[in-house]
Amino acid sequence: MNKEYLHPILFLLSFLFFISLKYISEYFKLTINLKSLFHTTIVLSIVLYLYFSKRIPSIQRLKQLSVDNPVFSLKNISKNQLSKSTRDSIYGLIIFSMVFSIFDIYYGLVKKRYDFIIHGVIFFLCVISCYYFSVLVYPYVIIIELSTIFYNFLYTKNIYIIIAFVVTFFITRIIYLNYFTYISYCYFNIKSIETKLLLFYLCVLNLLNLFWFYKIICKSYKTLKKE
């Protein structure tokens, strides 16, 4: 049964959920970003479950499918390889992240952080494009948020958390995301509008992550030097 009628309801519930977390944080004056922590934990838990239960194909499998079916678009490959229940789950996660990206943009505007604004806008455009074009590559991109879990605990200034954050950031956002960008360019149908949009978003995110990684290394070096 088509469950698209539930999407507006899910959007509203997600919005109320993040609003509640915002007021809870402000009321208790919490240092940790509850919105970011809950979003990352929930999304990554479901995505990793889908991946390890083999409900979504590996990147190597997507490569092989693209080689075997060069005329297929990324949209068709994704739809043919995912069950209806898996697609529904991914659509739900996309809507959840769509709402979170709106708060990310709001945070950037409040803090006057243009890098956060750019990240929020690209994140929003990416998830809404995945939703509109039914290109369910969302699980392969959102995995970079693994480093965000440690980012939310940097306020503790714990040396192990700092190291974990730097390592996961480098592995997921620098190595993995660039690798996935390369795979997308070389193997996915470059003529399709969805692949062109995906490559644009990935390139912007890669540049932004390189900028952040430079700042992270500088700041981490100063912190470790003090320790």
SS (H, E, C) 6-24: HHHHHHHHHHHHHHHHHHH
pTM of the model: 0.90
* CA triple 74-77-81, angle to 5 deg: 140
pLDDT for residue 97: 95
pLDDT for 178-191, tens place per residue?
999 999 888 887 77
**Cβ atoms 154, 165 nearer than 8 A:** yes
Residue 1 has a pLDDT of 45
Domain ranges of the chain: 4-226
> What confidence score (pLDDT) does residue 153 get?
94
Q: What is the pLDDT of residue 224?
A: 67
Number of neighbouring beta carbons within 10 Å of residue 213: 15
What stretches in the chain show pLDDT beneath 50?
Answer: 1
At 70 the pLDDT is 67
Query: Given this model, what pLDDT does residue 144 score?
Result: 94
Integer angstrom CA distances of residue 144 from 15, 107, 165, 193, 221? 23, 20, 12, 24, 23
Burial 31-46 (b: 16+ CB within 10 A, else e): eebbbbbbbbeebbeb
Give the model's pLDDT for residue 145.
93
| Cβ-contact 105, 117 below 8 angstroms | yes
